Structure 1
């Protein structure tokens, strides 16, 4: 009986471990901090001449070819979704060097793999889209080098609901067929941004949410008319 009991417990433990596996596991975590005074303040007009000296171009992301997706996890499994409406720009200098990115997401356009969940995500428990219809991000620094397979590290200010935070995360930047392609996967903690709904007692929701970004920035008018760049990674 003793051996049989231990076997049952072992099988139960292994089953639970498999059930708890998530796409979120093992992904890079964004560093989150309070924004510096400089980041929290509105951008100053004096910054413009410096950008002009570097011949920086402001270009619009091709939102039709780009994706902003997310993965959330509960005890019983993952849910996936994204945002259908957003707009953004990238500042590019010289020989296709990414200097800055900024984008605004329409939170009312959130989608998920479950219609009932989508409605819940729009409610006060999560994004409260009637009160906070947009979320924004603006980079303050983009540096070459990052952990893992990423090529760059992006730091910037993210505002969602009533929270404004500095976040730092890895990205991969490459140029294909006249289009700059920016890919990234990283986790953020929703509690940091005031989304604190915990879920049901027997099916709790994890704090971490995986963000999956695939953004295409055409570097010329010809690139806009061309086919979307082939994605180098899943997302």
Structure 2
């Protein structure tokens, strides 16, 4: 009886570890399609708002035994805003992939993990130094809720992705936040990890972008 209980506890613990290390489980799945031609809705009479230093682009990657937060230290971009809300499809983000960082648990582990992510196994930064997201459509669902679609180029592969986003305004600043997941293999990032510690395909993307006119 005791052995059965121990085995049951071990199984529950294993399931718990798997669950805890699946950060994509509670996020929206981005709709991924082939890249699309951008229609000319342009600025739609809006004003260009550029990103402030308060903006963040982060991610969470996971393997069977652990999850690791990371992000990008250097990027730029802008929204086109009219009457305090984004309009049209003239919105773009450009990321310097060499600014990738990742938390490996300590200084040595973080340096090793960051270096591996920059290597040909993952982002291959030497070959693909930039990643871009160019909005193709902005659908307003409510005063604060939008569906954002755009051509996302990562690792030399371009796909059109759609995801939910929230828009807020504070004074002259407009902020767009979102949390969703994509499949890295959709973008040709196929490194499997070790047999007993496989890397999950889903990666969580976290956007917290603040822009101001002429920031």
Q: Helix, strand or coil: the match of 1:182?
A: strand
> What does residue 32 of structure 1 align with?
32
Find out whether 1:105 has 2:77 as its counterpart. Answer: no
- Alignment counterpart, residue 77 of structure 1, candidates 46, 50, 66: 66
1:133-172 matches, cutoff 5 A: 133-145=129-141, 151-172=145-166
> What does residue 195 of structure 1 align with?
189
> What does residue 15 of structure 1 align with?
13
Give the TM-score taking structure 1 as reference length.
Answer: 0.82
Closer, same or farther: CA 51–207 of 1 in aligned 2, 3 Å: closer
Checking the alignment, whether the CA contact within 8 Å between 2:94 and 2:133 is kept in structure 1 is yes
Q: What is the rounded CA distance, in whole Å, between the counterparts of 2:42 and 2:118 in structure 1?
A: 38
What residue ranges of structure 2 are gaps of 5+ in the alignment?
104-109
Q: What is the rounded CA distance, in whole Å, between the counterparts of 1:151 and 1:18 in structure 2?
A: 33
1:79-111 CA-to-partner distances (Å, cap 9, x unmatched) read 011100001011112x12202320110001000
Runs of 4+ more than 6 Å apart:
none
- Shift, 1:6, TM fit: 2.6
- Alignment counterpart, residue 127 of structure 1, candidates 119, 123, 143: 123
Give the TM-score taking structure 2 as reference length.
Answer: 0.89
Q: What is the rounded CA distance, in whole Å, between the counterparts of 2:160 and 2:60 in structure 1?
A: 21
Q: Count residues in correspondence.
A: 204
> What does residue 6 of structure 1 align with?
4
Find out whether 1:90 has 2:79 as its counterpart. Answer: yes
Root-mean-square deviation (CA), in Å? 1.7
Q: Helix, strand or coil: the match of 2:112?
A: helix
Larger Rg: 1
- Shift, 1:51, TM fit: 4.3
Higher relative contact order (CA 8 A, sep 6+): 2
Q: What is the rounded CA distance, in whole Å, between the counterparts of 1:177 and 1:165 in structure 2?
A: 34
Q: Helix, strand or coil: the match of 1:10?
A: helix
What residue ranges of structure 1 are gaps of 5+ in the alignment?
225-235
